[in-house]
Structures are given as C-alpha cells and as structure tokens.
Amino acid sequence: MPVFSTKNETRNRGILLGVVGTDVPVSELLKTIPKYKLGIHGYAFAITNNGYILTHPDLRPLYGDGKKRRKPNYSSVDLSEVEWEDKDDTLRNAMVNRKTGTFSLEVTKSVDKGKRVLVLHNDYYYTDIKGTPFSLGVALSRGHGKYFFRGNVTVEEGLHDLEHPDVALADEWTYCNTDEHPEHRYLSQIEAIKIYLSGQEPRLHCDKELIQEVLFDAVVTAPLEAYWTSLVLNKSENSDKGVEIAYLGTRTGLSRINLFVVPDELTNQ
C-alpha cells in the first residue's frame, strides 16, 4: 500500500513517502484451494509475473542428505521446465500476460515412485490474482468430478460418527478457517466443525459443502468399525493372514484406521 505525507503543507501535493507491504506465506495461499475438488491427480500452482514458479508440486527446491540443502537457483525455475508438454508456451504465456481462462493438454505423469506412467488429459484453469505479482493455476484430470455420490444425514448422527477414535481428517485441509481469529487457533478441525454446526460462533467461517459431505462419509463408513472389530475378535479366521492394519480414505479427506495387532507388534513392512 502507498504511504503519502499527511502534513498540512503537503497534503494536497500527494507526496509519496514509500510503500508498505507484508509477506504472505505460500502455505496460506494454498489454503484457499479446495483440495477435495482437485482429485487424485489434480494440483494447484502459481507463477510470478516473470514466469517463475512460486509453488508447484514438481518444484523440488531441496536436495542432499535428508533434503536439507536448498538449490541455488530454486527461485528461478520457469513454468516451462515442469509443464514441459506445453511446448508452444500457450499456458505459460497466458498466465504471464495475466489472463484468465482454460487450456487443455495431454500430459504424462509418473506414479508409484516412477514405476508406472499415466497419460492424462488435463484441463488447466488459470486466473490473475489482482493486486499481486503472480497468477494462479489449477490442473484437473478431464472427467474428474463428473459423477459422485452425495447424500444427507442429520448433524447429530454425523457428529457422533465423526468423533469415533478411528476417524481422522486430512492434514492441512481447511474445513474451517481457524487462522482468521486468534481465539480459534487452538481448535482442531473436528472441534471447529462442532462449534460451527452448533451456531455458537458466527465469526467462524467454514466450507459448508465440504462439511456436509464429510458428515455423510462418517455415517456411511461407520459400520466398518464393527466389521473390523469382529475380524479382530475372530482370531481363528485371521491369525495366519498377516493383516496388521486396515484403512479407508474418502474424497472428503476422512480416513478410518484399524489395527489388527497391538502397536508394539507392528512389523512396519
């Protein structure tokens, strides 16, 4: 923001004293991206007005033992070096020129630690973030989100199943914004969801659609707990199968985990 002189003798002359700004961590920018809408191969990225990557899943700025050393030129990696299928720089030029639109491209993606390669048809959505020196982009696999199942459950049964000890929510996903007000920062996401649904805190802003869907997932996956428990109790059936952990993950970031052995007996294989 510009800072102008407020002295009476200079007020009408618009004398600029300087510019004041504040740093914004990239992690804060990424919190605005609804990850549950991106899909398993979807991702968000941002570049500066020079085409250099601000954040991208293929930007690897650290190297060496334990990934603790920062590469000398990590801040001047061009978008074309990671989105290399964009051979005509169509995507790059559009973003550098601060345009908003869509672009489709066939890309290859390595998975399973490079053992397999997928060919994907990606749709890129890019937009200029006004007032900032960068542009934001999102890549989605074509067809993702075309069909999905949604249902309604009561808040009471949803919260009951969400609070089971075998349930966890995805790390770093923002169901409720607990950073906006200091009194919310000690809350876990599940605690924030409970307060939001109770209507006791109108200043707590949450993703209503995501919360409705995660409550639904909690209810429809709840029978797994009883099923897994019955398998654990039936030792004659499972004693020789070698199963130590069962887990389930859903699109809304909800996971359920069950141990078939006590923690001390996990082989870590």
Are 46 and 142 within 8 A, CB to CB?
Answer: no
**pLDDT tens digits, the chain, 269 residues: what are they?**
888 888 887 777 788 889 998 888 888 888 788 888 887 788 999 999 999 999 998 888 777 666 677 777 778 899 999 898 999 999 999 999 999 999 998 988 877 777 888 888 899 999 998 878 889 999 988 877 677 777 889 999 999 999 888 899 988 788 998 988 888 989 999 999 999 998 888 889 999 999 999 999 999 999 998 888 888 777 655 555 677 888 999 989 999 998 887 777 777 66
Q: Which residue has the tokens 């078939």?
A: 260
- In the listed set 141, 158, 177, which residue is the last one of a domain according to the structure? 141
In this structure, are 95 and 134 located in the same domain? Answer: yes
CA dihedral 107→110→115→116, nearest 10 degrees, is -40
Q: Is 234 exposed, middle or buried (0-12, 13-18, 19+ CB in 10 A)?
A: exposed
d(CA 9, CA 251): 62
Beta-carbon count within 10 A of 244 CB: 15
Residue 5 lies in a domain: no
> What percentage of the chain's residues is helix, strand, coil (to nearest 5)?
30, 25, 45
Looking at 141, 162, 197, the residue that finishes a domain is: 141
Give all strands of the β-sheet with 167-169 in edge-to-edge order: 167-169, 254-259, 245-249
Tokens 């906006």 belong to residue: 180
User: Are 176 and 205 contacting, i.e. CB atoms less than 8 angstroms apart?
Assistant: yes
Please state the domain count of the chain.
2
- The CATH number covering residue 58 comes to 3.30.450.20
At 4 the pLDDT is: 87
Residue ending a domain, choose from 141, 156, 189: 141
Same domain as 117, residue 162? no
Strand 53-55 and strand 62-63: the pairing is unpaired
Q: How far separated are the first and last CA of the chain, in Å rounded?
A: 54
Long-range CB pairs of 29-32 (<8 Å, 24+ gap) are 29/55, 29/136, 30/55, 31/172, 31/174, 31/177, 31/179
Q: What range defines the domain where residue 206 resides?
A: 148-269
32 and 62 fall within a common domain: yes
Residues 169 and 240 placed together within one structural domain of the fold:
yes
Q: Is residue 15 part of a domain?
A: no
Q: 51-88: string of b/e by CB count within 10 Å (b at 16+)? A: bbbbbbeebeeeeeeeeeeeeeeeeebebbeebeebee
Q: Going by DSSP bridges, is the β-strand pair 167-169/16-19 parallel, antiparallel, or unpaired?
A: unpaired
